[in-house]
Amino acid sequence: MAMDDSFFQIVSSLPFTPQHQAVWLMLPGGEEDDATRTRYFLNLTEKKLYKIKNVFEPFLDAWCVGSSHGLLILLDEKANPHLFNPFSNARIQLPSFPAQLKPAVPEAYFIECWRKHFIAKAVMLMDDDNKSAAVVVIYGTPSKLAFCIDVDNTWADLGGGEEYSDIICYNNQLFALTDSGSVEVWDFRSNPPKKIMNFRPSGRSTVHVDMENFPRDKFSNQFYLMESSGDLLLVNRVFGNFVNSEGVAIDEAGLLDTEDTHPLVCPYRTKQFFVYKLDSIRNTWEKVESLPDRAVFLGGNHSLSLSTSDLHEGCESNTIYFTDDNWDQMNEDYLYGGHDLGQFNLASGNLQTGVQCCCLWSERMDPPPFWIIP
């Protein structure tokens, strides 16, 4: 996120209380920090960066798989899930994943090779009086849905029968986007949860038209669901698979320069966003050109749209703020990963990448940044 350095401050203080409606970006520790326990927290409203040591003291090697209702959903070094509030240090251990949900591999291999790729997304659903919660995850390959209601329950497959690309909670219901483009609605007030609607909107041709200028040999895309001012939105994020230093997406063959035996390092980067609104009467996705008075936050977090008037001018209107959730590309052997973050103005098409307020981080940000919105 672009930010004038004259307004930028680094503050070391613990504890601190997050402001209401503040938006926080959790960033990894710098090279001189204890990377397993130290994190930076960028407050977009205050324009301050808080360096908090030992915030992850209870977890030796925490890996974040979700951010929802101001809480992080973490996997510890043994792949056990937890709910964690980094501001109050409150934490709740969730039940371990049962063997029937995990791949049929030895436990040590699962922890070493699957832990950071097993969960693609995790969100929380709260009941009307905030006394009971459910955690829902997209897990495994192929991607399925599993849920856990309250901390004393176990995990169970939701049984949707599809592959899934995103999930959100709204009005105590789960909205799940399938890879085929349909939207399922699950009611968690029943036990077990019950699928009550299944939208299969037409209008995917509109999406295909928007992708015509992005050939598949150079670009990929990812879809998100989001609620905004009562509307259900579909967000299409387009990124170049290999983007050179000039910002141009190249094909894989271009990575090897004829004069150099070492491949060029060309990380994937987000290049464009498109937004569509569900017309429930016509059952179609209609293209949205502008989201006035809204700031959108996408990534590994529960996708959210907030009113910029409630954020005290800390965020720009009509803007998508995004972090890197390209989990399959975050291999420890790569020189990049976690780096693909920035902001995109939907009206102007202006794209700003990276955390430009400081240079504590390189192309590789491990662990990847996450939005936290209390």
The pTM score is 0.90
Residue 4 has pLDDT above 60, yes or no: no
For the ranges 4-18, 33-47, 70-84, 296-310, which has the lowest average pLDDT? 4-18
Give the pairing type, strands 173-178 and 183-187. antiparallel
Give, in degrees to the nearest 5, the angle at Cα 350 between 346 and 356. Answer: 120
pLDDT digits (tens, 9 = 90+) for 59-106: 878 899 999 999 999 999 999 999 999 988 899 999 999 999 999 999
User: Confidence class of residue 280 from pLDDT cuts 50, 70 and 90?
Assistant: confident
> In which element (H, E) is residue 168 found?
strand 164-170
User: Within 10 Å of residue 231's Cβ, how many Cβ atoms?
Assistant: 15
pLDDT digits (tens, 9 = 90+) for 312-357: 767 899 999 999 999 888 766 677 888 899 999 999 999 998 765 4
**Strand order across the beta sheet in which 194-199 lies:** 164-170, 173-178, 183-187, 194-199
* CB atoms near residue 364 (< 10 Å): 16
The domain spans of the chain are 202-373
DSSP 113: I
Strands 119-126 and 133-139: antiparallel
Integer-rounded Cα radius of gyration of the chain: 20
